[in-house]
């Protein structure tokens, strides 16, 4: 059962599996209840694109509504994290709770042996040594977003695009006359899509204006609500040039929802934007246990970041301290720190703090 989104990646994934001799069916998931005509039309268009591809390939398309599961397991967490002053990654939670739990369970109930998606990752599904590995196309590798998966889920999952370049995927889609061959890749919030993010968040979490402070404590402007801002953010601060200060871009260095303050630093290389130590309360290991050596690893604190050398130590409070060889820019609590050994994705945890 292939998760069909109406995009080019899942379409080609389904075609490749048919070519490999699998008996394939597709499933389109509706996970968000639209509240306006524009969003309704976008979802309807995606479903129609999925239908066209399935008809072209000659496979059956199922539909299912996971909107209540998405709200309870993903979106409520998303709002709670923002309200607490953190910056969550909904794609990570969505993969764990919807694509590889609700979808997997539903597909197994329908009698399928495996699920498949258009993710760019490679899977070693051996019961002795289960593992998730980076995709051949490093620019598209999505292992960062799948680090919360467990070996049992991986053993039931196929990733047909793991060894293929994105350009080849689009070439296949053109050759098969899929009308989605040049469709723009989806971005924005998982299953919700592209929106004016702050306006969207205000609908659920009304903000209270507060001061924007420099790292020296000087008031430079007013923000719309500390929860709306992300560490490292440059756009949308509205503080412009300060006549009494030298010119230079400003970046969010810290925020506090209790005092409703946002702290900004001038210049991308400002020391307040760098931290060598990341804290996490728990780490999920895909293999079920940590590696024997936790002093020679690599990690990412954001998608597309090059691997950063690090080591992991257990803290007295049973949390974990991740020490990087080089200071990391714009460490954002709520995001994930994901660990690697060469191409193998080992797992990861949610960032709860950072230290110099």
Residue 225 has pLDDT above 80, yes or no: yes
Give the residue among 99, 142, 86, 143 at the shortest CA–CA distance from 258: 86
Strand partners, 350: 336
Q: How many CB atoms sit inside 10 A of residue 215's CB?
A: 15
Chain centroid offset of residue 27 CA: 21
Closest C-alpha among 156, 285, 270, 175 to residue 216 = 270
Residue 190 is among the residues annotated as catalytic for this protein: yes
The two structure tokens encoding residue 232: 């490292």
pLDDT band at 241 (very low <50, low <70, confident <90, very high): low
Is the overall model pTM greater than 0.85, yes or no? Answer: yes
Residue 180: partners with Cβ closer than 8 Å, 6 or more residues away = 6, 7, 8, 11, 49, 52, 53, 173
Beta-carbon neighbour count of residue 182 at 10 Å? Answer: 10
- Within 8 A by CB and 6+ apart from 268, the residues are 249, 251, 329
Active-site hit among 94, 123, 310, 345: 94
Contact at 8 Å (CB) between 333 and 351?
A: yes
Q: 265: exposed, middle or buried (C-beta count within 10 Å: 0-12, 13-18, 19+)?
A: buried
Catalytic residue among 123, 190, 310, 345: 190
Whether 277 is a known active-site residue: answer: no
**Residue whose token pair is 């495996």:** 114
Any idea which of 238-242, 293-297, 321-325 has the lowest mean pLDDT? 238-242
How many angstroms separate the CA atoms of 271 and 124, rounded? Answer: 41
Question: For residue 178, what are its two tokens?
Answer: 């899929």
Look at residue 191 in the predicted model and tell me its pLDDT: 52
Split at pLDDT 50, 70, 90, the class of 203 is: confident
């Amino acid at each position: 059962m292939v998760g069909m989104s109406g995009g080019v990646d899942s379409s080609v994934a389904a075609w490749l599996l048919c070519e490999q001799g699998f008996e394939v069916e597709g499933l389109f998931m509706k996970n968000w209840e639209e509240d306006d005509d524009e969003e309704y039309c976008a979802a309807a268009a995606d479903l129609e694109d999925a239908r066209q591809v399935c008809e072209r390939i000659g496979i059956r398309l199922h539909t299912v509504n996971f909107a209540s599961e998405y709200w309870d397991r993903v979106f409520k967490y998303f709002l709670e994290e923002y309200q607490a002053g953190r910056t969550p990654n909904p794609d990570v939670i969505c993969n764990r709770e919807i694509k590889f739990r609700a979808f997997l369970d539903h597909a197994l109930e329908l009698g399928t042996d495996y699920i498949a998606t258009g993710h760019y990752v490679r899977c070693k599904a051996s019961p002795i040594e289960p593992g998730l590995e980076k995709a051949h196309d490093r620019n598209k590798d999505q292992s960062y977003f799948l680090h919360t998966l467990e070996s049992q889920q991986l053993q039931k999952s196929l990733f047909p695009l793991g060894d293929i370049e994105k350009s080849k995927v689009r070439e296949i889609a053109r050759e098969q006359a899929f009308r989605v061959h040049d469709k723009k890749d989806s971005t924005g919030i998982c299953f919700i899509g592209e929106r004016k993010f702050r306006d969207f968040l205000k609908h659920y979490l009304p903000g209270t204006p507060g001061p924007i402070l420099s790292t020296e404590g000087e008031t430079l402007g007013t923000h719309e609500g500390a929860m709306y801002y992300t560490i490292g953010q440059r756009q949308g601060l509205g503080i412009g040039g300060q006549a009494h200060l030298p010119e230079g871009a400003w970046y969010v260095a810290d925020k506090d929802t209790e005092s409703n303050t946002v702290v900004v630093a001038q210049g991308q290389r400002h020391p307040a934007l760098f931290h060598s130590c990341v804290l996490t309360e728990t780490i999920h290991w895909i293999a079920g246990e940590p590696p024997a050596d936790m002093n020679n690893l690599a990690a990412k604190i954001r998608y597309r970041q090059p691997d950063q050398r690090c080591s992991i130590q257990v803290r007295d409070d049973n949390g974990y301290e991740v020490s990087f060889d080089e200071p990391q820019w714009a460490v954002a609590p709520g995001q994930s720190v994901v660990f690697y050994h060469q191409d193998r994705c080992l797992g990861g945890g949610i960032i709860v703090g950072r230290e110099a």
